[in-house]
Amino acid sequence: ETGVTQTPRHLVMGMTNKKSLKCEQHLGHNAMYWYKQSAKKPLELMFVYNFKEQTENNSVPSRFSPECPNSSHLFLHLHTLQPEDSALYLCASSQTGGLGQPQHFGDGTRLSIL
Amino acid sequence: AQKITQTQPGMFVQEKEAVTLDCTYDTSDPSYGLFWYKQPSSGEMIFLIYQGSYDQQNATEGRYSLNFQKARKSANLVISASQLGDSAMYFCAMREFNNAGNMLTFGGGTRLMVKP
């Protein structure tokens, strides 16, 4: 396996469900990110982890709860979501340090809230 | 104010022709980096090209080149010899040196459609 892998690719859930999105990177990177991409809106950064420590929470509602157990894995736990949370959720990873380090993205999880 | 502006929501180009996708940015940080990503309909974001604010030459990567005009704060992507597989959303993004963490700020994107 190479790159950044996200599971599941698609998820449909009710507003009262609890689910988790998973992201795994095989690139040896030490920073990981969650983004939200809604229709007709720019990509929104949600969370940043550097060396397993959360360094950025971009005013994300508490119904989204990230977890980074190690530098290769990142989770996004979902609970009591709202219809406006339907979106494509993208995970990315990068090396820290250096302006020119690109972020490498997974294929995303397309989330639909009923 | 928007940090990254992409003024072309959608563009058509004939196959085999060149196309320029516009990107302007706003920063007071003298040290920054600019990135272009491609997002096909499948969803993944593919890194294409990078330009640093202190780079003397315009970046090139195969059929992709970056027309970097620092004084105008623009970093337009040029795709030469367009192919049908180039049809996708294209995003310009910026990282500022003094920005905490490794955060990228993205523009709204341009949808490119290549006509056969």
Q: Determine what percent of chain A is predicted with pLDDT higher than 90.
A: 75
Q: What is the pLDDT of residue A75?
A: 98
Q: B75-87: per-residue pLDDT in tens?
A: 999 999 999 999 9
Rounded CA-CA distance B116/A64 in Å is 43
Residue A16: per-residue pLDDT = 87
CB B7 within 8 A of CB B106: no
Helix (H, G, I), strand (E, B) or coil at B68: strand
Low-confidence ranges of chain B (pLDDT < 50): none
- Cβ of A99 within 8 Å of Cβ of B97? The answer is yes
Average pLDDT value over all residues in chain A: 92
Question: Is pLDDT above 70 for A2?
Answer: no
Interface list for B 13-52 with A (CB within 8 A): 31-33, 35, 37, 42-47, 50, 52
Q: What is the mean pLDDT of residues A59-81?
A: 95
- List CB contacts of B10: < 8 A, sequence separation 6 or more: B110, B111, B112, B113
Residue B15 CB neighbour total at 10 angstroms: 13
Q: Rounded CA gap, A38 and B103, in Å?
A: 19
**A106 interfacial to chain B (CB closer than 8 Å):** yes
Query: What one-letter code names the amino acid at A70?
Result: N
pLDDT at B1: 62
pLDDT confidence of residue B33? 94
| Residue A46 sits at the chain B interface (C-beta within 8 Å) | no
- Tens digit of pLDDT for each residue in A75-111? 999 999 999 999 999 999 998 877 788 999 999 999 9
Flag whether residue A90 sits within 8 Å of chain B, measured between CB atoms: yes
pLDDT at B85: 96
Tell me what the mean pLDDT of segment A5-9 comes to: 96
- Measured between beta carbons, the chain B residues lying within 8 angstroms of A43 are 91, 106
Q: Kindly indicate the confidence band of residue A58, based on its pLDDT and cuts at 50, 70 and 90.
A: confident
